Amino acid sequence: MIHSLFLINSSGDIFLEKHWKSVVSRSVCDYFFEAQERATEAENVPPVIPTPHHYLLSVYRHKIFFVAVIQTEVPPLFVIEFLHRVVDTFQDYFGVCSEPVIKDNVVVVYEVLEEMLDNGFPLATESNILKELIKPPTILRTVVNTITGSTNVGDQLPTGQLSVVPWRRTGVKYTNNEAYFDVIEEIDAIIDKSGSTITAEIQGVIDACVKLTGMPDLTLSFMNPRLLDDVSFHPCVRFKRWESERILSFIPPDGNFRLLSYHVSAQNLVAIPVYVKHSISFRDSSALGRFEITVGPKQTMGKTIEGVLVSSQMPKGVLNMSLTPSQGTHTFDPVTKMLSWDVGKINPQKLPSLKGTMSLQAGAPKPDENPTVNLQFKIQQLAISATFHPSQFLKTFTGNVEK
């Protein structure tokens, strides 16, 4: 399965390596570096790179490449999913997953990786099981380990490893039993200049934080489950019941976990909660052009639109831009011709706008009047895929909990 793992920063330096079977030389990463040079951006590096004797599979997260080395053909998504699980585990252990944090906790990192793979095959990938095997680092535990020479390795095997529910430890007790579910949706849409939606897709996840006593058995159903495509579940979900009844039935892990991820295709009606009005004009006999853009809410059920970021790749003939925003800050890079406008929060009573003039290259042909405009935003407590409200998205939630 997985022979080695290399962690490479954005500068191309290998700052950590772990070997489970035979030691693989660092020179194997030269094939990865060649692919990295050919890619224009870090995200464009091929996830699977064949070499004469190995396969390199990688993911890029938090400005770090996680590169796994295998010698035989395996399902690529299996390895890629494991790499994502490694990143999520580091983030759960240390709060953030970054190069300085990994270097500061290198001993814990090696201990966790040793438990996650056994002879190259995944063994323990659930966070709550790993935390029983390897205690998360704290200031007090670090001081004690330094003085006594002890490690973060637990004294006994996790009880969950020996049960039919390996993702949950036994003997869990809470004074207050509570469960939280966060519906997080990302919408990718293409809209023409008249405001009509050409295509729109939704990628969503449901993250859970369950703190319940004993071995709870939960049931969760939705208003319209047939909208959900390409559903990926946590191992705790009983898949046969979902196939027959479209109901989620599961014994949850203790603490934070991702219950499922899903996709809503463009074939379903997706309403875009914001709109963009823009006016970009260039004069044939002048070296100046006009630019104006306005962003506003639409079908947000009264929810506030936050984190609005507008960007546009301007034509090559634009030398500079003199713009005035009604709110937020903007930047224009004369080299890359990229315009960025950090709007922030939208006030429906006073819509944000950005307007001004553009300086054009003298004697150059008239540029394209319709450059693309990219819009990013966040809306709290609004699920776009189902009736626009999370309280209606989740229909029923029941469960049996020990007291």
Looking at every residue in the chain, the average pLDDT score rounds to 85
The CATH number of residue 223's host domain is: 2.60.40.1170
- Report pLDDT for 60: 96
The CATH number of residue 58's host domain is: 3.30.450.60
- Report pLDDT for 390: 43
Under 8 Å between Cβ of 134 and 152 = yes
Domain that holds residue 242: 178-269+385-398
- Report pLDDT for 389: 41
Tally of domains within the chain: 3
The type of residue at 314 is: M
Half-sphere exposure in the Cβ direction for 351 (13 Å, CA): 13
- What pTM does this model have? 0.76
Q: State pLDDT tens for residues 272-329.
A: 888 888 888 877 667 788 889 999 888 767 788 999 999 998 888 888 999 999 999 9
Q: Cβ atoms within 10 A of the Cβ of 187, count?
A: 19
Give the sheet arrangement for strand 288-297, strand by strand: 274-282, 288-297, 353-360, 318-325
Same domain? 265 vs 389: yes
Helices (H) then strands (E): counts for the chain: 8, 22
Q: Which residues pair with 44 in a beta bridge?
A: none
Per-residue tens of pLDDT for the chain, all 403 residues: 899 999 999 889 999 999 998 899 999 999 999 999 999 888 899 999 999 999 999 999 999 999 999 998 899 999 999 999 999 999 989 989 999 999 999 989 999 999 999 888 998 888 878 888 888 877 666 666 666 666 666 656 555 555 668 788 778 899 999 999 988 888 888 888 777 788 888 898 999 999 999 889 999 888 888 888 889 999 899 999 999 998 999 999 888 889 999 988 766 566 788 888 888 887 766 778 888 999 988 876 778 899 999 999 888 888 899 999 999 999 999 988 999 999 999 988 889 999 999 888 877 777 766 788 899 999 888 777 753 344 444 445 565 655 5
**Is residue 162 domain-resident?**
no
**Is residue 161 domain-resident?**
no
- Report pLDDT for 195: 74
Distance CA 388, CA 185 (A): 11
φ/ψ (deg, to 5) at 21: -105, -120
Calculate ∠ Cα 316-318-321, nearest 5°. Answer: 145
- Report pLDDT for 233: 93
**Is residue 169 domain-resident?**
no
Same domain? 12 vs 138: yes
**Is residue 324 domain-resident?**
yes
Distance CA 385, CA 369 (A): 33
- Report pLDDT for 24: 93
- Report pLDDT for 400: 62
User: Both tokens of residue 8?
Assistant: 């490479």
- Report pLDDT for 372: 85
**Is residue 11 domain-resident?**
yes
Q: Which of 126, 148, 170 is the last residue of a domain?
A: 148
Same domain? 26 vs 130: yes
Q: Which candidate, 68, 29, 23, places its Cα nearest to that of 47? A: 68
Same domain? 283 vs 391: no
